[in-house]
Amino acid sequence: MSDAWDEETDVVVLGYGGAGAAAAISAHDTGAKVVIVEKNQGGGNTRLATLTFLCPIKGQTAKKHIRALSFGTLEEETIDAFVQWSSKNVGFIRELGGETEVCPPGPTFPNLPGSEAMVRYRVKGKEGELGGESLWRLLSQNVEQRNIQVYWQTTAKRLLRFGDEIVGVETEHGGRRLKVRARRGIILSTGGFEYNEVMKRDYFSGYPIYSFGHGGNQGDGLKLAQDVGAELWHMKALAAPLGYKFPGYDAAFIMWMSAHGFIIVDQQGRRFCNETGLEKYSMWMEVARFDMGGLRFSRIPSYLIFDERTRLSGPITRAGHGANRGYKWSDDNSEEIRRGWIVSGRDAEELACGLGMDSAPQLGKTLTAYQKSCRTGKDKEFGRSEETLVEFRGRLYGVPLWPCLLNTQGGPKRNARGQILDVWGSPIKRLYGAGELGSIWGFLYQSGGNLGECLASGRMAGHHAASETPLA
């Protein structure tokens, strides 16, 4: 350890999104002096989110449900701690001066036991505020009101150890290195690894997989934690709907249909799922299957195919969240056809050729079978419900579909106090984690679960880090 510190404080928070803000507020209110280190402008994916946060009803029912969603990836005391802290999320927002309202429906998986305890809320926003902006405004205002120092455009590069304790961090700003000493603790809240291609290839089945969110989330926190011996967990867990990816835009656009006249096909033009019955966050599971015949991911990309009526019924995406929320998609999708993002064809053959699909005749056969299902009201193979079987009319349209991340969940494993654990299961002294980096969501994802966890795990980590005995 170097004794040449540039700055000294009680608690250092690395990454200023929802989890970092909640951690900083909580550490400050527990009595600590706090410094935040942020690589970009702050807000991360929190500011770009849709809007909902989970605040479960405290008790055994919520625990049962989270246990069921985890498929064995969580220990009981972690579930207990999560329910204990997250069930107070609404109270926390009110303490900060925010107003909340319930966002029905609550549960994402109503068929799993205990789902009735899953209740989602949002922070009421001002006119014109999009998605996570109302939550972010509230959190960042509270950080400002507490005069918490934020080092903007400053990247955490390395955690600094003395003996078996983490005592500080080396950061970089404009090519200049700065060492910040943390007398009580450090909280890692640098978000996910949505823009780290190497990690995505290594940990996920299926590639490429794009992202809707913030380009700053490159998995830095994983490296920082691994460097000091942290155990990783939940690396293959993710929430990823399907979306579109176009040249000139780093982030993807989410697929969102305002009419039922559409199907999804693989590269050979075959349907493979009940398109209108897909669970949004797990859509990636439908396309991540490796085709052992063709030795490739034959559903990455898949293709969204729709007709003239669907085109005219509204945008095939939903604006208002994600990194592309400034883009104004045309109401009838015509601008995106003009740009060449949506391909059009007189018939299946022309469309398949335009899209570069493997088999033009097969798409024709698939559409004929689909039209027949619409007329009989029965989708024998994939069980699509009768009211969603809407016959195609007029010109055809198509666009490649990719799995696209709302969030990654993997990262350093933390215990029920938010401490990051080493590979032997012992806490790495004075090192805490919060938010999407090393999230508790180890398998199925409950909507609102990440922002709910940011608020809960941030507060928990902030409180415990601030309560550490200070270094001499």
Residues that bind ligand FAD (CB under 6 A): 14-20, 37-40, 42-46, 48-53, 155-156, 189-191, 212-214, 216-217, 220, 321-322, 406-407, 435-437, 448-452, 454
Q: How far is the CB of 39 from ligand FAD (least distance, A)?
A: 3
DSSP state of 182: E
Nearer Cβ to ligand FAD (206/411):
411
Q: How far apart are CA 197 and CA 217, in angstroms?
A: 11
Nearer Cβ to ligand FAD (267/408):
408
Q: How far is the CB of 98 from ligand FAD (least distance, A)?
A: 15
Q: How far is the CB of 301 from ligand FAD (least distance, A)?
A: 20
Q: How far is the CB of 351 from ligand FAD (least distance, A)?
A: 29
- 75 sits in the region (left: phi over 0; alpha: psi -120 to 50; else beta) called beta
Nearer Cβ to ligand FAD (39/234):
39
Q: How far is the CB of 409 from ligand FAD (least distance, A)?
A: 8
Contact 288, 205 (CB under 8 A): yes
Nearer Cβ to ligand FAD (286/453):
453
Question: What are φ and ψ of residue 35, in 5° steps?
Answer: -125, 135
Question: What are φ and ψ of residue 232, in 5° steps?
Answer: -105, 155
Q: How far apart are CA 371 and CA 388, in angstroms?
A: 12
Q: How is residue 298 written in tokens? A: 């034959």
Of 375, 446, 382, nearest in space to 409 by CA: 446
Q: How far apart are CA 156 and CA 37, in angstroms?
A: 7
Q: How far apart are CA 240 and CA 452, in angstroms?
A: 18
Q: Which residues sit opposite 432 in a β-bridge?
A: 187, 419
Of 460, 464, 452, 419, nearest in space to 438 by CA: 419
SS3 63: helix
Q: How far is the CB of 361 from ligand FAD (least distance, A)?
A: 38
DSSP letters spanning 304-359 = EEEEHHHHHTS-SS--SSSTTTT----TTSHHHHHTTSSEEESSHHHHHHHHT-S-
Q: How far is the CB of 8 from ligand FAD (least distance, A)?
A: 19
Contact 265, 197 (CB under 8 A): no
SS3 161: strand
Nearer Cβ to ligand FAD (366/407):
407
Q: How far is the CB of 74 from ligand FAD (least distance, A)?
A: 17
Nearer Cβ to ligand FAD (152/290):
152
Q: How far is the CB of 231 from ligand FAD (least distance, A)?
A: 19
Q: How far apart are CA 420 and CA 20, in angstroms?
A: 15
Nearer Cβ to ligand FAD (399/404):
404
Nearer Cβ to ligand FAD (19/352):
19
Nearer Cβ to ligand FAD (120/311):
120
Q: How is residue 202 written in tokens? A: 């290594």
Q: How far is the CB of 228 from ligand FAD (least distance, A)?
A: 14
Question: What are φ and ψ of residue 439, in 5° steps?
Answer: -65, 160
What radius of gyration do the chain's Cα atoms show? 24
Minimal CB distance residue for ligand FAD? 17
Helix axes 18-29, 449-466, angle to 10 degrees: 30
Nearer Cβ to ligand FAD (269/435):
435
